[in-house]
Every structure is written in C-alpha cells, then in structure tokens.
Amino acid sequence: MKKRTTRQRLTGSLLAVAAGLAVFHSVDACTRVLWNDNELATVVGRTMDWPESTDPVLTVMPRGVERNGGLTGDVVTVEENPATWTSKYASMVTTIYGIGSADGFNERGLAGHMLYLNATDFGSRDPSKPGVQAGLWLQYVLDNAATVDEALELLDEIQVVMTEANGHQSNVHLAIEDASGDSAIVEYIDGEPVVHHDREYQIMTNDPTYDQQLELLAEQDFSNPSSDTPLPGNVKATDRFQRAAYYLEMLPEPEDEREAIAGILAIARNVSVPFGAPYKDFGIYNTEYRTAINLADRRYFFELTTSPNVIWADLTKFDLEDGAPVMTLDPDNIDLAGNVTASFMEAESAPF
C-alpha cells in the first residue's frame, strides 16, 4: 500500500486542489472525530449521514464466526477467490443494510468506520488476491486485527470489491484507530489503496480525497482556537472537516468518561446535518445516527437522531467465547435509554 506519514502532502498546488473541488460529486455523508490526545482514554465519534434508513442494528458477534467475503447478503459478489475467514476477535458493530458493518470496534480496542467517498475506485478485480465485498471491509479488520498496524498488514493481503445495497454503490473509505491512539485512513484511488497512517489523522469526512482535505486544513491554524478564528459553517464535507478540527482543539481535559463522551458527541452534533434536510436540493444527506466509542473500556454509545435518548452498551459484559450466540438490538425504539447491555436479544445467526 502507498503510505503517507506525518505532515506529508500532495506535491500539487492548492490551485489544483481547488480545481478538484469543483468537479467532485455533490453528495456528502458522515464525519469521524478521534480524540487521542487526552490523558483519560482514546475516544472516537462519528455521524452517519444518509438519505434513508440504513437499517442499523447494534450487533455483538463472538469469536469463531465464519465469514465469506464474497457474499453481499445472499448474492455472490466475488465469484472467483472470495476471502473466507473465522473471526479471531469478538466485536460490537452497527450494521448497514444487513450486508456488513458501517461502524464498530472489537474486544482488543480496535475500531473502524466506513464513510462515503465518491472518488473511490477499487480498480479491476485481481483474482490472485482474495476478494472482500466492501460492506465487509470493516468487519474483516475487526475480526482479524488487534491494532492499526496489524490491520494495515492484513489489508495488503486482500482486495476490496465494489458492491451494492438498496440501490447504492459502496463508494467508501475506511478510518481505523486503536486504544493506543494510533490512526489510519485508507482510500482506494485510481484502483490503488492509499494509506495515511499517523496519530495526527483525527478527522475524516468525505470528498475530496484525504490528501486534498489536509491541504485545505493547512490553510487554517486551529492550534490556538478563539472566538475570532474564522470558521466555515456550511454542511459540505470540507467545512465539516475544518469545523470538527477546530472544536477538537477546544475540548478540555476530561475528568471522567462522561465528560469525554460528552465532548466527542458535542462535536458530532455540531457537524451533523439536520434531520429532514432537503438532500435532493442541497446534495447533502441528513444525519441518521451518531456513535461514540470508549476504546479503553470497550463501551459503545449510540444516538439515533429520531430518538431523544443516548444509549450505550458494554462489550465486556457479553459472552464472547467461540460458540456464544450473536446478540442484537434494534435502536429504533424510543423507550430505550441509558445502559442497554441487558436489552440485547439472542439472534438466530450472524447477519453476515
């Protein structure tokens, strides 16, 4: 994989960046914010922005689940040399359309988030590499890796393959982080994987590509934020990227988990798109849900935008042994509030 390290940027000028911005697709979705420089715990939050329900289900999967990376639901997406594996680690995820995981983490404290990127190009199928349909890209990582370093090594061994669900193609890029605070952004551009790997890569939104987002961010100095700092206020991806970076610099040192999660969710709400926003006119999707993860203590927080309550669950309280049941919870329930660990129900089988 091509790798970019600390503060490396594209060699092209900002003029070229501006030209790229003029042509990228207008549909934007999602923001990820990683808070890895406080003394309490590595915490991360994201928004899921989409024009319809993605049928999110909170799902706990034990070790020992067998997967076939060539299946999108019941449809064979990768006919030749699909990747197959058995999960090494248990995980808690939010599913998307029942074909994969959009967000989540595993028992070792590795987390990941798939966000929309119109510029995605997975390239032509190379049957010499095991193929994983893009909906299972994150799940493959959570099943098999304990750290960002391990995840990046594993991703060298497979090829991610475009799939489709509910009429939408899987134009996605992947953000991963671990309990130590390490971070990486993985994008497929012009058929090749491009990796940005460093703790400093805390923010991710959508188009343009990550190199160009960093170029735009470099034009602003948010290291000493103040009320006089100019800040873009629109809902497009470039504005959300810079606004999230600005507010992340403002967060005070948390005294406990409650303050840490409150801080990261406050940023997620700030970069959210109002429910019911006219995406067909704006080219912007409204926020469906927000999540936050405490990677130190393995707790997952979830906030559906049509519900007044934040809910959370503790992965360490589930039976994660090989052979244990898959446990699920439908968050679209206005009566759910607070700690819902005991509200998960046994599923007949793993969703994928």
DSSP string covering 295-346: TTTTEEEEEETTSS--EEEEGGGS--STTPPPEEE----TT--EE-GGG-EE
Local structure of 139: helix, strand or coil: helix
Do 206 and 48 touch, CB atoms closer than 8 A?
no
Helix ranges restricted to H, the chain: 14-23, 137-144, 148-155, 210-218, 237-250, 257-270, 279-282
Of 285, 197, 280, 303, nearest to 240 by C-alpha is: 285
Residue carrying the six token digits 């509200």: 343
Q: State both tokens at 194.
A: 């491009």
Note if 16 is an active site residue: no
- The rounded distance, in Å, linking the Cα atoms of 93 and 105 is 6
338-339 and 311-314 strand pairing: parallel
Helix ranges restricted to H, 176-305: 210-218, 237-250, 257-270, 279-282
Per the DSSP assignment, residues forming a β-bridge with 100 are 96
Which residue in 17, 29, 30, 235 is the catalytic one? 30
Instruction: Just list the catalytic residues.
Output: 30
